[in-house]
Homo-oligomer: A and B are copies of this chain.
Amino acid sequence: MSKTIGVLGGGQLGKMLFEAGSPNNVNYIFLENTSECPAALVCKNQVHGNLQDNTKINELAQIADVLTYEIEHVNVQALANLEKEGKLVLPRPSVLSIIQDKGLQKEYYANNGVATLDFALATIKNLSDKVAAWPEDRFVLKHRKGGYDGKGVQLLTKEKFAALLAAQDNSLNSEHGYVIEKLANKAIEVSVIVAVAQDGSTSTYPPCEMVFDPRSNLMDYLIAPSSLSEETNAACESLALQAVKGFDSAGLFAVELFVEANGGVYVNEIAPRPHNSGHHTIESSYTSQYEQLNRILLGQPLGSTALVKPAATCNIVGPQDVNGAYELANLDKVLSIEGVYIHMYGKTTTSPDRKLGHFTVLADTREAVVEKMEKVKRLLEVVGV
């Protein structure tokens, strides 16, 4: 009766996708090499195998009516071949090819007239020359491939670059080349999740703002609605929509944007899947990003992306000094606060910086959201047991 969705990857995004489809008994099968993965906590159907394994991906395709992926590091050629044979793969493998390579991503924006920060591509051979020719002293250096969660991305000066080069520093090793990118000017970072249905209809979620810790410069939390004006929010949604149009593909896309103090809006990068910046939609929105992706994969109409309540999401991350089994301290105190939702990813052990889960808070105003979130952050602690 119902279609089967094959998902490459069995991480927390896969688990939350399953949870969103559970009330309607959507049928899933995950490809993941371990039974210990988050998705396996809820889904009985799994193909055991590596996300690069052509044979295993084909095995998944045999059982599934439609394929998707919850992580970018998958065998895109295998998916492209399947698409050629008529299998529905969403977002399309051609999108993934672009996304997997930050150089192609930047060229895609440039070729499609999508505002993005100035950039130059470089290879290992011409990197020094390209950096020397770069018009500003400070710049961002990104590996074209393989980066994840900020890895392979560094903010440099020409002097710092020269020092790394002289030291033959590992952080400069990138076999697939580099993107040299202009530094955003005092920018606010937001994310707009764009949904494109199989019939071509589209919708965007209200921009979600990433708030950074001024000390560590690491992302602190995500909050919706953003602090931007209505006009700028609309510009963000419009640019995000434009950014995915050229993909010519149905799917769910998280478009990260820089909004400069002067009002300039630029696409930073796109994830072709559910995203951290949409976790809050599970509780805050008429349709969660996961429910939306399910609808897209099943060929159903898109749901309303309207926000019901202001919300913020914060990752629950392994602290520096704990390794192994853990628990959440002060859980009862946190659960006593109205509108706090904890999602754990089923990881039985922690290690420094490991993403163990997230929590979302709801409140009536943006200010009340921030206050509640700060309170929960102070209370909720990952401690060893």
Contacts and interface: CB of A to CB of B under 8 A. Distances in A.
Interface of A: 1, 15-16, 19, 22-25, 41-42, 44, 286, 295, 300-301, 303-304, 306, 308-309, 325, 327, 331-332, 335-336, 338-339, 341-344, 346, 348, 362, 385
Contacts of A41: 22, 25
Contacts of A341: 23
Contact of A339 (B25, B286, B336): B286
B385 A1 contact: yes
Contacts of A325: 1
Contacts of A332: 300-301
Contacts of A44: 44
B300 A23 contact: no
B295 A346 contact: no
Contact of A344 (B25, B300, B336, B343): B25
A41 B348 CA distance: 24
A22 B332 CA distance: 18
A22 B23 contact: no
A339 B287 CA distance: 8
Contacts of A286: 338-339, 362
A304 to B, nearest CB: 4
B308 A309 contact: yes
Given A15-B22, A303-B335, 11 more contacts: A1-B348, A22-B41, A23-B341, A23-B343, A24-B342, A24-B343, A286-B338, A295-B335, A301-B335, A301-B336, A304-B339
Nearest to A348: B1
A22 B1 contact: no
B300 A1 contact: no
Nearest to A331: B300
Nearest to A345: B25
List the 5 closest pairs (A to B, CB-CB), nearest first.
Answer: A304-B338, A23-B343, A301-B336, A25-B346, A286-B339
B339 A24 contact: no
Contacts of A339: 286, 304
Contacts of A346: 25
Contact of A338 (B24, B306, B327): B306
B25 A22 contact: no
